[in-house]
Amino acid sequence: MLFNSLTFVVFFAVILGLHYTVSSWRIQKSILLIGSYIFYAAWNPPFVILLWVSTLADWYVAKALAKEEVQVKRRLLLSISLAVNLGLLGFFKYGEFLLENFIELASLAGFSYTPAKLDIILPAGISFYTFQTLSYTLDVYFKKSERCKSFLDFALYVTFFPQLVAGPIVRATDFLPQCEKPKRANRDQFGWGLYFTTLGLFQKVVLADGMLSSASDTVFNFKGESIFIFDAWLGLLAFSAQIFCDFAGYSTCAIGVALCLGFILPDNFRSPYAAIGFSDFWRRWHITLSTWLRDYLYIPLGGNRHGTYRTLFNLIFTMFLGGLWHGASWTFIVWGVLHGTYLVIEHLLRQNFTDTQWVKTLAGRFFLTCTTFFFVSIAWVFFRANDFGTAWMIMGSLFDFNGSGDQLLPTLEIIQVMIVVGTLLTTHWYLHEKRLEHAMQDLPGWWVVVIWTAMLFGLILMQGGANAFIYFQF
């Protein structure tokens, strides 16, 4: 079930109606839980079983961890949770990838091996809810939080429909306390919830799908030898904007839908294309994933506590796994390693250049922001390309200053991309130190009405499209 579909509008209207007419908080939570299962089952009903397996495994593991003090037994219990969750994720997401690479290795060694095709269907959102429920078990294991006493609350935490399929990845310590008392959005919360939902849909339907996807697809699906440099850069910039509008659009919808129900979800994006450096970028892009990788992978590996070389390895390895988390493909791994390399270079530069006063100047900030955006966009080539052949073709076209290559984009698409990308970068620059809701509150009331009306008008004009969000494939 897609946020940008009429089916979801009907579903959400029913959930809202039941949520605000039923007086019992326990029944309200039960309705939300059942609704979440229906929401997920709309894609493929049998995969609800995987949600039940993860929920039951981590519920009982955490329950046992809360009573067990012997460290060896605690590690065994944690291993059970890791085996169940990562085992399911590994099979469904990486099974075919591992088999294909095994066949390639066997072929290189001179063996011919052609097994039956697995034809594994990837369950929607498995990467997100696996990391979410794992964070709960890890927090209980490391005694950072108490185990949940209510199975209903825990099941709702794992399956809460607004963020179930594509995040944000919510920590139990943020969500479970909200389940203790009845949740009803006040007037301001409901208004902001509707506004964020509208904004998220506008980002997805009007910007990502309506104004950016065509140019991006034209360039990255091109099968020729070279693309005209201007068109190659426009296609790449279109995807840089598209991936933000699509993914941030989903997160914004999720936050808005949850807020209408009285629940508060964490921010997932904070003007990432205004980042000053790559560590700053990851504090602003997919925040709930980057903090998950930091807290449950980078820091346990040693973080920056064991010298320079260990720190550099930890950065590379963390981003390697971050790339692999996004998809079972070597192009995603290269994307992750590229970002790891960026972070390594940034770390080394900070060690050797301690005079950073110039960074605080407008010129310094502008230079570093442009540099960061440039290299982040270059990395998107490997994220978007279907294979390395396409990636190298795009990379060659981006720096082919001879002006050769095919011209692909019509004038209208060029204008659309330039307007959207220019507006997006300007907005991110303006909101670098501000939250969106605070910036909106600073505007006159009539401006807010005008912006909201314009977004609704754009959604009405673009109705009929219900494309899946890009991050559904992860």
Residue type for position 7:
T
Instruction: Show the tokens assigned to 155.
Output: 């099941």
CA distances from 203 to 143, 242, 244, 424 (A): 40, 9, 9, 11
CA distance 290 to 169: 10
pLDDT value for 424 = 93
Note if 326 is an active site residue. yes
Q: Exposed, middle or buried: residue 114 (CB in 10 Å: 0-12, 13-18, 19+)? A: exposed
Residue type for position 148:
C
CA distances from 449 to 181, 430, 452 (A): 33, 20, 5
pLDDT value for 360 = 74
Instruction: Show the tokens assigned to 469.
Output: 């969000």
In the chain, where the domains are located: 6-182, 189-473
pLDDT value for 297 = 92
pTM: 0.90
C-alpha 389: how far from its chain's center? 26
pLDDT value for 465 = 57
pLDDT value for 471 = 56
Catalytic option among 326, 428, 432, 438: 326
CA distance 338 to 379: 7
C-alpha 302: how far from its chain's center? 25
pLDDT value for 55 = 93
Cis status, amide bond into 45, omega within 30 of 0 = no
- pLDDT one digit per residue (tens) for the chain, 474 residues: 677 788 888 899 999 999 999 888 999 999 999 999 999 988 888 899 999 999 999 999 999 998 878 888 899 999 999 999 999 998 888 888 878 777 778 777 777 767 767 777 888 888 889 999 999 999 999 988 889 899 999 999 999 999 888 879 999 999 999 998 888 888 888 988 999 999 999 998 899 988 899 999 999 999 888 899 999 999 999 999 999 999 999 999 999 999 999 999 999 999 999 999 999 999 999 999 999 999 999 999 988 888 888 999 999 999 999 999 988 889 999 999 999 999 999 988 888 776 667 777 878 888 999 999 999 999 999 999 989 999 999 999 999 877 777 888 898 999 999 999 999 999 999 888 877 776 777 777 777 788 888 888 888 887 655 566 665 565
pLDDT value for 235 = 94
pLDDT value for 384 = 93
Q: Residue 406: helix, strand or coil by DSSP?
A: strand
- The full 3-state SS of 336-387, as one line of letters, equals HHHHHHHHHHHHHHHHHCCCCHHHHCHHHHHHHHHHHHHHHHHHHHHHHCCC
CA distances from 221 to 10, 93, 226, 408, 467 (A): 35, 24, 12, 11, 18
Query: Nearest CA to 249 among 231, 275, 269?
Result: 269
